[in-house]
Structure 1
Amino acid sequence: MSNQLNSLKWLIMLVASFLVLTGCEKISNSAKNLQSDWVGLDRKIEIYTCHTGERIKSYQGSVRINPDDQLTEGTSFLVDGKKLHTNMCYVVTELGITEQPLSE
Structure 2
Amino acid sequence: MIRFIDLGDQILEGQSEFAWWDTISDSFEEFSGNQTWPNWKCFEEDYLLDEVREMIQDMRPLDRYKSLFPRDWSGTFVSAEDRKKRYEKGICDDIIDEDT
> What is the TM-score of this pair, normalised by structure 2?
0.22
> What is the TM-score of this pair, normalised by structure 1?
0.21
Task: Select the structure of larger CA radius of gyration.
Answer: 1
Give the strand-richer structure, 1 or 2: 1
